[in-house]
Chain A
């Protein structure tokens, strides 16, 4: 990388230019009027081009009679030597197991029940009404795909609840098969619009074919918006997960093949002030296995009902036209020469297009995630926790110090484009104490000092639960800072005072590449990300960037320090994983055994005081680190065993 040319109009990066809609609390009305009447009210959503909803049985027979399925059934029958009718039976059974059976009565039941539950759990559910109107419009014009972020089991019930409230067409939702385990609940969810897919069906052509045809039939005809989670599963860390491409491929296919004029994709950002599964997730990451979903387990979870979970913000983003995404990117003529119903592996062009689109969509989700003041507090407290521990100081920080720092961070994060919900007409100290009180399970205030609810004498794992929970809130703001933080770390690494721009860029590029499974960083956009980071840090007066050099300003050190310590746990974590692979005998290590082994290694390091970040115990981080090392060529997987490429590892 000789010279770095700025080719993107810088204005694009300017987060201050982002306009966001206002919110409206939908629970407010629920608290004042009858839930029963609400559940029984007239519900007449408008569908795509005025089509009438289609009966489940009709939908199923459309799928079974489709050309694509027909073709695959014959193919499977020929390859396996089974009778075509036999294969068709199987397809029909797969469809039976998969298909939703949306019923308005069930929706009404949920509307009633959820009203009750939501009112006890949450202070408010805030929705941007303009977003709903845009969605309403989009549904009438094009087939629509809803892509909510996924942080909680709550998500899809919440989505349907909101859409029912606003008289918008109810979506059909792709759900993991694990829900089916809960007998009664599974069926209830099915009747409220969920359809169930197996977690993995790698080579099963027939399954894939039934599944994709089912989704496409619903989408193409506009019978219902299709909803799924781009991240594939709930994020246990509150960071967005690397998007999964399977379903996105399927829903883009009808457009690419010309079967519909366009498909609109609507990213939806659901932000919870306090996540229901908070400590559950932390335990899971620490290796305490998650309980299997079961109906009785759900009842045991009743006690969550007695707690206060603050508010939820749901932001329906700008509908994204797949047509405009594909404009100039995809040559649709590639489908001209083979009948469209014959399934084919997507071309490289399509794969990279879908991948890039997926990243864009996840970033669109991230951008509209509402951050509560507590997120800032969690970040500050975590940093303080680790610094104090390292320095052997008294734990915690003074309340007014925390408030001052929070106000500073508030201003910084706004400059970086965070969608921060900081009540403007309340004094900062009140804001801080209200944030602390909602999360009293994680922090302790005593004698005017605030600290994480971690007792030194406690067991390491229980300490880690608190740290990881806090980290999950800090993670909510990572997407705002990740690019500047990578740049800050890159500058930090460039040891000398003279920071040559190319050196900084190279370090940036290395770090970015290493962390590309950890954070949402669009593949191939290194230069853009670098420019964006430079732009933000220059704009906020942290850096001066000339043709050759990068200079840190006097007042920039504070921000830079904050940013580097934000990334530090990840850097340390990756280093430890590296060290583990270097030092330990991994000859006989399978991928499955990797996590427990590395965990043991890390525990020892933590206990010995060689590592201060308990959050490194997160299996998520460990997996990502391993993936990064594989990507960088330091580790290779051969027949399920991990083989290290020694000289690479030592270099790292």
Chain B
């Protein structure tokens, strides 16, 4: 896409909108041939053709066919430094694919003190001998076999479902170290399959761990090492159909295993969308969103998952839980959905969800604003939230992240664009007097009908101007959002060169935003120094969501671990300290990643003793034998 299209006419804009849709849906494995993948069918008789309905879907049963076993995302997409030392991104799936990123090497070496000569390549192949043998519950296996539900105890299948994407999990995989893994994987293809599996698990006292997209960053998928029963990973990925669309009520009934990109693509074909776009939407599943209380980047228009669901069906050891109607709001005691949302797989398996849908937006427009400093930027976001005029998405990156984003600019094709870039830079830093070491940038995404978008855009830019903000073009904005999808790939590149890192998030009241950002970043730097990290770490943050009463803040933290004997341990200590700092500064334990096992230790302080008791008693009633034994949350 041409970067200078911002001044173009409506056809250009149309093009941009379509381009954007293509990005969202842009990770197809093959062309969609228009045939109706939207089925109103009931779960078909079990047998050999359970795969039929997943045609054109992203996630195969054998994930290893398209995905990395020891890193993020698709096997064909990765960053690397080529022979000339230039960074490039391989594959064809993303906008950045096949492009050279000239600035990355200097930024990488400069920021981390890393060196392309010092490599830490991963173990190339998964050796089956490294995988502990499966402890099978023979009776259970026999009965599953008789139901015809596909299952496997292949080592690769099991390893794939034994982890999420926490740093320590990926680091161990790269070293070829494998801990406790599920003993067996089952692939139910509909709600009834799940009912059967759960019944059998209860009957034979087998531990079930639901698995959706595998994008957890809370150690939620780690098998408890103390678990002695056979652990069965219940992979929902084949329950991925849209069962019906109700255009009168604007709802869709969807199987919970569907991943975000498929859901969006399939709805788009009918002219609808959910608008729920978490950063992990390529791989994360609807059931996972419900189980962790997910949040999407466009929640300002569409809402977070709790605002989007109308009806949830979950299979528990006590039976199926669901509401009897689809009324848009009910006063019937505490909302049982709120026991389900955020239960993190400890109570049962979410199988089907009725969700709100919206007609696809007519028009989309990116934007960006440069602020002289982070303080001004936050003040602007606060004002936007106060006036309740936040665009679909508004995010504010700090200076370090701005520089990072800059380093990821792909090679420009024409001298003209590079000239324009130079001019813009001159204007901002010299003419407007912004300090390049303090300025920060907000990226924006507007959605709706064209007139309203343009009106909205003006309103937001007017507010920004009051805080010293300068509009900085659509291209910068779009690149910002594109980075969301590739940043996880970048971590793998870092890990090839002694650099490890991770992001974590929190939510915090407005008056605390600046304080928490400063203190947590400083704490990270201090802790790294204390723990013997030899190089200054990258410690940066951004404000990614705005609410009436606060904001969601993301921290990114990475460092060069050369000279450390146990880098992961150091990493974990620093992250732990950073979380303590977050809590001490009035931040929450998590905005949307969830608690898992990683943040369990802080749960009691977070929700009080009585709160813990409430949740425990629900667990005790619903799952007295701890069949859903992933030991998350409590």
The answer on a CB contact under 8 Å between A258 and B585 is yes
Contacts of B515 in A (CB 8 A): 258-259
Cα separation A261 to B519 with both chains bound (whole Å): 5
15 A–B contacts, CB within 8 A, in A order: A258-B516, A258-B519, A259-B515, A261-B518, A261-B519, A261-B522, A261-B523, A262-B522, A331-B584, A332-B584, A332-B585, A333-B584, A333-B586, A333-B605, A335-B586
Binding site for B on A (CB under 8 A): 258-259, 261-262, 331-333, 335-336, 339-340
Contacts of B523 in A (CB 8 A): 261
Q: Within residues 87 to 118 of chain B, which ones have a CB less than 8 A from any CB in chain A?
A: none
Cα separation A336 to B586 with both chains bound (whole Å): 5
User: Are A339 and B511 also in contact (CB < 8 A) when A261-B519, A332-B584, A333-B583 are?
Assistant: yes
Cα separation A262 to B586 with both chains bound (whole Å): 16
Please name 13 further chain A to chain B contacts, defined as beta carbons within 8 Å, in addition to the given A258-B515, A258-B585, A336-B586, sorted by A numbering: A258-B516, A258-B519, A258-B586, A259-B515, A261-B518, A261-B519, A261-B522, A262-B522, A332-B584, A333-B584, A333-B586, A333-B605, A339-B511
User: Are A258 and B522 also in contact (CB < 8 A) when A333-B605, A335-B586, A336-B586 are?
Assistant: no
Contacts of B519 in A (CB 8 A): 258, 261
**The 6 residue pairs across chains A and B that have the minimum distance between CB atoms:** A332-B584, A261-B522, A258-B585, A336-B586, A258-B515, A261-B519
Q: Does B512 contact A (CB under 8 A)?
A: yes
Contacts of A332 in B (CB 8 A): 584-585
The answer on a CB contact under 8 Å between B584 and A258 is yes
Cα separation A340 to B514 with both chains bound (whole Å): 14
Chain B residue nearest to A330 in the complex (CB): B584
Binding site for A on B (CB under 8 A): 511-512, 515-516, 518-519, 522-523, 583-586, 605
Distance in angstroms from B184 CB to nearest chain A CB is 43
Cα separation A296 to B72 with both chains bound (whole Å): 80
Distance in angstroms from A377 CB to nearest chain B CB is 47
Contacts of A259 in B (CB 8 A): 515
Contacts of B586 in A (CB 8 A): 258, 333, 335-336
Chain A residue nearest to B518 in the complex (CB): A261
Cα separation A333 to B585 with both chains bound (whole Å): 7
Cα separation A515 to B42 with both chains bound (whole Å): 86
Cα separation A259 to B516 with both chains bound (whole Å): 9
Contacts of A333 in B (CB 8 A): 583-584, 586, 605
The answer on a CB contact under 8 Å between B516 and A340 is no
Contacts of B583 in A (CB 8 A): 333
Question: What is the interface of chain B mostly: helix, strand, loop, or mixed?
Answer: helix
The answer on a CB contact under 8 Å between B512 and A258 is yes
Contacts of A336 in B (CB 8 A): 586
Cα separation A174 to B585 with both chains bound (whole Å): 29
Contacts of A261 in B (CB 8 A): 518-519, 522-523
Chain B residue nearest to A261 in the complex (CB): B522
Cα separation A316 to B92 with both chains bound (whole Å): 63
**Most A Cβ at <10 Å: residue of B515, B516, B523:** B515
Cα separation A258 to B605 with both chains bound (whole Å): 19
Distance in angstroms from A219 CB to nearest chain B CB is 15
Contacts of B512 in A (CB 8 A): 258
Distance in angstroms from A73 CB to nearest chain B CB is 19
Distance in angstroms from A330 CB to nearest chain B CB is 9
Cα separation A90 to B503 with both chains bound (whole Å): 49
Chain B residue nearest to A335 in the complex (CB): B586
Distance in angstroms from B586 CB to nearest chain A CB is 4
Cα separation A335 to B518 with both chains bound (whole Å): 17
Distance in angstroms from B517 CB to nearest chain A CB is 11
Distance in angstroms from A263 CB to nearest chain B CB is 12
Contacts of A335 in B (CB 8 A): 586
Distance in angstroms from A637 CB to nearest chain B CB is 40
Distance in angstroms from B255 CB to nearest chain A CB is 40
Distance in angstroms from B416 CB to nearest chain A CB is 38
The answer on a CB contact under 8 Å between B585 and A340 is no
Chain A residue nearest to B522 in the complex (CB): A261
Chain B residue nearest to A337 in the complex (CB): B586
Contacts of A339 in B (CB 8 A): 511
Cα separation A262 to B511 with both chains bound (whole Å): 18
Contacts of A262 in B (CB 8 A): 522
Chain B residue nearest to A141 in the complex (CB): B522
Cα separation A339 to B586 with both chains bound (whole Å): 11
Distance in angstroms from B557 CB to nearest chain A CB is 16
Cα separation A381 to B518 with both chains bound (whole Å): 58
Distance in angstroms from B599 CB to nearest chain A CB is 15
Distance in angstroms from A50 CB to nearest chain B CB is 11
Cα separation A613 to B522 with both chains bound (whole Å): 57
Cα separation A96 to B195 with both chains bound (whole Å): 76
Cα separation A336 to B509 with both chains bound (whole Å): 9
Cα separation A339 to B549 with both chains bound (whole Å): 12
Contacts of B585 in A (CB 8 A): 258, 332
Cα separation A83 to B519 with both chains bound (whole Å): 39
Chain A residue nearest to B605 in the complex (CB): A333
Distance in angstroms from B90 CB to nearest chain A CB is 41
Cα separation A339 to B550 with both chains bound (whole Å): 13
Distance in angstroms from A500 CB to nearest chain B CB is 46
Distance in angstroms from A447 CB to nearest chain B CB is 65
Distance in angstroms from A232 CB to nearest chain B CB is 31
Distance in angstroms from A339 CB to nearest chain B CB is 7
Contacts of A331 in B (CB 8 A): 584
Chain B residue nearest to A332 in the complex (CB): B584
Chain B residue nearest to A339 in the complex (CB): B511
Distance in angstroms from B555 CB to nearest chain A CB is 15
Cα separation A340 to B509 with both chains bound (whole Å): 11
Distance in angstroms from B526 CB to nearest chain A CB is 8
Distance in angstroms from B421 CB to nearest chain A CB is 29
Cα separation A259 to B522 with both chains bound (whole Å): 13
The answer on a CB contact under 8 Å between A340 and B511 is yes
Cα separation A339 to B605 with both chains bound (whole Å): 20
Distance in angstroms from A332 CB to nearest chain B CB is 4
Distance in angstroms from B415 CB to nearest chain A CB is 38
Contacts of B584 in A (CB 8 A): 258, 331-333
Chain B residue nearest to A336 in the complex (CB): B586
**Most B Cβ at <10 Å: residue of A261, A331, A339, A340:** A261
Distance in angstroms from A53 CB to nearest chain B CB is 19
Cα separation A61 to B557 with both chains bound (whole Å): 38
Cα separation A261 to B525 with both chains bound (whole Å): 12
Chain B residue nearest to A255 in the complex (CB): B519
Chain A residue nearest to B519 in the complex (CB): A261
Cα separation A335 to B584 with both chains bound (whole Å): 8
**Most B Cβ at <10 Å: residue of A332, A335, A339:** A332
Distance in angstroms from B601 CB to nearest chain A CB is 14
Distance in angstroms from A170 CB to nearest chain B CB is 26
Chain B residue nearest to A326 in the complex (CB): B584
Distance in angstroms from A348 CB to nearest chain B CB is 19
Cα separation A202 to B516 with both chains bound (whole Å): 34
Distance in angstroms from A505 CB to nearest chain B CB is 38
Cα separation A506 to B193 with both chains bound (whole Å): 75
Cα separation A333 to B586 with both chains bound (whole Å): 6
Contacts of B605 in A (CB 8 A): 333
Cα separation A340 to B518 with both chains bound (whole Å): 17
Distance in angstroms from A327 CB to nearest chain B CB is 10
Distance in angstroms from B606 CB to nearest chain A CB is 10
Cα separation A339 to B512 with both chains bound (whole Å): 10
Distance in angstroms from A585 CB to nearest chain B CB is 57
Cα separation A332 to B515 with both chains bound (whole Å): 13
Chain B residue nearest to A257 in the complex (CB): B515
Chain A residue nearest to B583 in the complex (CB): A333
Distance in angstroms from B578 CB to nearest chain A CB is 13
Distance in angstroms from B58 CB to nearest chain A CB is 42
Distance in angstroms from B272 CB to nearest chain A CB is 41
Cα separation A339 to B523 with both chains bound (whole Å): 23
Cα separation A331 to B516 with both chains bound (whole Å): 16
Cα separation A258 to B587 with both chains bound (whole Å): 11
Chain A residue nearest to B584 in the complex (CB): A332
Chain A residue nearest to B585 in the complex (CB): A258
Contacts of A258 in B (CB 8 A): 512, 515-516, 519, 584-586
Cα separation A259 to B518 with both chains bound (whole Å): 9
Cα separation A331 to B584 with both chains bound (whole Å): 7
